[in-house]
Structure 1
């Protein structure tokens, strides 16, 4: 009998199984590959290192970070990419690198750095799921971590100031969204009729941006103009997450 696979992740809201992009990537891939995960949603009773979420736990292993978790699942014969050609596999890696370089900084900024969004949406949501007194400390630490992650990758010369960095990351994010929309075209998924790793990453990065109701919606408005990307998110939610963990 296979060892049980337990995934600890942030919970859901706004019709999403999780509002956390990296948790969503793993949840989607598990659905696509048929991996039988037991999902444990973080709540006020959870005592693990939340900064490492999502975390996959088995009888003898603890794995964090989406790429490492997906590789672990593939080794357990849960492979959503088994029908891809070598070229499609290479394209998958290239597009994931593009997402992480060009889109992720803007997603982090939208949630954790943009003041109106952080104080009205992100901080209250995460604080409500963290026990007191950590609820007073951890969201701010996560916000600073997101800003440091943005500046580490994008704060190099000639972009010395945060305002310059912000302008550039949103330009890059819009360009990335346009490229993804052009690549998807009228197809149901990125490589045909069956979702794979790239669909999981795109869904994980885009669905929170698409569904969470923010007061500042600069990038969200651009995404909603790209109807095929929104349709991809809606289709995955409808087909695989009719009742998501943490979403009631």
Structure 2
């Protein structure tokens, strides 16, 4: 049995920067003997089918995604992690796994990707340490864009700091009245108006975090694990992956603080899951080199996806043209060669167009030209001193008005 697990990471002091990768690593670490599998931090989403990590290779057969990997291992009799669950427990496992993949993913996205400080100080440098040049220019931006969309689709995009509009002052000294004839009282300076926008956003974000923790805490209760006492299920490893990323210290550690101070049972669950892992080394293995063709192809694809108006069409064509290349043995497919060469040329052209567009003046803006006045033209009293337009007007012929004879003077009679 040759099991090879391809993941993101390690980063942020954890085995991976992705929650599903963390769950897959923890699950295989606990249930598969160390000599029967290997762990590869490929940081290459094209390694598996569907271009998604984690990806598992079992004797040349590829599977991607945490749930799909566990289903594959169960079908092939490697281990059956959820066989001991009742029908109700299996239904709860599916429901809470969906809850983690939606609300949990949204909170992780807000904490590590949407937050400007966390992205600049923690998450962006982590991806830079995982990826080779020049993929550090394209892949982190694409990952962050996907995380922002995750937060927006969940309806928590309003957690960004908002600035209240200032109250307009009356244009005259006349007291304003309501439609019922009463005096309109001015708004009092309450806590919501003296609070900074980022503080108000932090309070709203903490409310969403505590709501998420409360749901997970109610499910676990006093049990050792979420669904049963004797052994963890697939839900436990998935929750472990998300809670580990929520415990990362960020510039605004709202998720970490709420977890450790208000939900001690969830913090105890993480300690219980970590107790088994201490002292056990992971079977890390170096990934195969991407090669120049792989780097150029990935960089070209990322560059084209970043061009507005081209990204959707390019992504559909690429997925249909090189889908069989995801999860292959590393050989260069003819379509992949065309994608690499054509994409590289197109990305260079796109970058040149963007650079030229940025160098142009804004549309509708006036263009100013400054030239040094020559010495022989400094004392020029003609129209040349007004520049090119003056020189043009100064060269026009001048027609003198005909002299008009004065009217004859009348002598006095």
Shared fold, TM over 0.5: yes
The CA deviation at 1:86 is: 1.5
Matches within 5 A, 1:12-161: 12-13=10-11, 15-34=13-32, 36-42=36-42, 48=46, 52-77=52-77, 78-151=79-152, 153-155=153-155
- Return the alpha-carbon distance in structure 2 between the equivalents of residues 160 and 16 of structure 1: 27
RMSD: 2.7
- Return the alpha-carbon distance in structure 2 between the equivalents of residues 13 and 61 of structure 1: 28
Contact 1:17 1:241 in 2 (8 A): no
The CA deviation at 1:80 is: 1.3
Matches within 5 A, 1:205-224: 205-210=242-247, 212-224=248-260
Match of 2:220 in 1: 184
Aligned length: 237
Is 1:232 aligned to residue 269 of structure 2? yes
Change (3 A) 1:101 1:150: same
Change (3 A) 1:142 1:206: same
Between 1 and 2, higher relative CO (CA 8 Å, sep ≥ 6) is seen in: 1
Describe the SS at the equivalent of 2:5.
strand
- Return the alpha-carbon distance in structure 2 between the equivalents of residues 17 and 160 of structure 1: 29
TM-score when normalising by structure 2: 0.52
For residues 59-81 of structure 1, the C-alpha deviation after alignment (integer angstroms, 9 at most, x for no partner) is 23221111111211111221111
The CA deviation at 1:9 is: 0.7
Point out where structure 2 has 5 or more consecutive residues left out of the alignment. 162-200, 285-413
The CA deviation at 1:17 is: 2.2
Match of 2:160 in 1: 163
Match of 2:235 in 1: 198
Describe the SS at the equivalent of 1:18.
coil
Change (3 A) 1:134 1:98: same
- Return the alpha-carbon distance in structure 1 between the equivalents of residues 57 and 206 of structure 2: 36
Point out where structure 1 has 5 or more consecutive residues left out of the alignment. none
For residues 185-231 of structure 1, the C-alpha deviation after alignment (integer angstroms, 9 at most, x for no partner) is 23221211211111011101101211x22111112211112112112
Change (3 A) 1:67 1:184: same
Higher helix share: 1
Match of 1:9 in 2: 7
Match of 2:299 in 1: none
- Return the alpha-carbon distance in structure 1 between the equivalents of residues 123 and 254 of structure 2: 16
TM-score when normalising by structure 1: 0.84
Contact 1:29 1:196 in 2 (8 A): no
